[in-house]
Structure 1
Amino acid sequence: MVLFLAGQFLLAGCGQAPEAERSLEPVAIEAGDECHVCGMLITRFPGPKGEAFVRHRETPLKFCSTRDLFVWLRQPESAAIVEAVFVHDMTSAPWDSPARKHLIPAETAWYVVGGDQSGAMGPTLASFAWREAAEVYTDTHGGQVMAYEEINLPVLEALNELEPRHHHH
């Protein structure tokens, strides 16, 4: 019994208790929010955005594009602390300003890699709640449909090769 109590005390000492009660619901991306990767003001740019909740942090990290989000996510140190990740469902969100809502869990979304629509830093990953929606998007915009776990650093590197004609900076 004494050992059990000591264990409970140790857990509480690590800040476990309040952590569990935190909401991991997506939050709106607001006008002043800056990208965790590049520091740009997120709402000034088109295309799907993302956000990630990490351990020991109340508010999510926010990203100006799904591309920046994945570059960050695929770093080993990020993967170790991530608790929840959200991206825009571009079926419902307008490409030019998706910022406020339509955020869905990134792990269950489908992504179009290499389509012709640009995000904040050029080529990006168009994100959709349903595979069918992603496939319909490719009919108009090109690209390849991929699942969350397929998007790795080589895929993101290949996106860099696709620098489009118009580049925001």
Structure 2
Amino acid sequence: MKTLLALIFTAWTSLALAQAPAADLPTPGTKDLCPVCGMLVSKYPNWVATIVYKDGHAHFFDGAKDLFKFWHDPGKYAAGHSRDQIERIAVTEYYGLQAIDAKDAWYVVGSDVLGPMGHEFVPLASEEEAADFLKEHKGVRVLRFEEVGAGLPLMLDQGRFE
């Protein structure tokens, strides 16, 4: 019985943690600009990505592509900010339009779905959703957060996906 209760508690805790980013994540205001491209982020709520720092400061992005550009060179876009100051990173997942942990997301590139800045890393909540999206939207490949190198977001800007 104790083992069953421990398993239930572990599953419940994991679910609660998976949903945590959306629960207390700040939302972009009407004048918040993407630090990478300068677009008004609130105009594209289905694509919002967010970095929250340990001091509570947040940067909002108009898509995962600009989030990845920032991630690979934060000092270029926001002087005085570095990766070690980051507390949370979230992206808006495609199907449910909910904020999820960016490091847990699955990203499809090369699909027929374009974001505010053209070709985009389309965030999905699960491997199964990513595989379905890849087929349905003629995607080229699926990536995890750690697989996105510094050059890939720039390649997407050029319509290159490999």
Alignment-derived partner of residue 65 in structure 2: 67
Moved more, 126-135 or 32-41: 32-41
1:154-169 pair list within 5 angstroms: 154-162=151-159
What SS class does the counterpart of residue 159 from structure 1 fall into? helix
What SS class does the counterpart of residue 151 from structure 2 fall into? helix
Of the three residues 80, 83, 93, the one matched with 1:79 is 83
User: Deviation of residue 121 (structure 1)?
Assistant: 1.1
Aligned AA for 1:152? G
Structure 1 position 134 matched with structure 2 position 147: no
Aligned AA for 2:32? D
Alignment-derived partner of residue 52 in structure 2: 53
1:4-23 pair list within 5 angstroms: none
Provide the rounded CA distance (Å) in 1 between the counterparts of 2:111 and 2:30.
26
Of the three residues 89, 94, 97, the one matched with 1:90 is 94
Change (3 A) 1:50 1:76: closer
What SS class does the counterpart of residue 34 from structure 2 fall into? coil
User: Deviation of residue 160 (structure 1)?
Assistant: 1.7
Deviations 1:118-144 (A, max 9, x none): 111111110011011011111121221
Give TM-score, length-normalised by structure 2.
0.72
Q: Is the 8 A contact 1:47 1:120 kept in 2?
A: no
Provide the rounded CA distance (Å) in 1 between the counterparts of 2:61 and 2:54.
17
The runs of 5 or more residues in structure 2 that have no matched partner are 1-19, 76-81
Structure 1 position 125 matched with structure 2 position 129: no
Deviations 1:89-141 (A, max 9, x none): 11212xxxxxxxx1011011110112121111111110011011011111121
**Percentage of pairs with the same residue:** 28
What SS class does the counterpart of residue 124 from structure 1 fall into? coil
Of the three residues 120, 143, 146, the one matched with 1:149 is 146
Provide the rounded CA distance (Å) in 1 between the counterparts of 2:104 and 2:131.
15
Give TM-score, length-normalised by structure 1.
0.69
- How many residues align? The count is 132
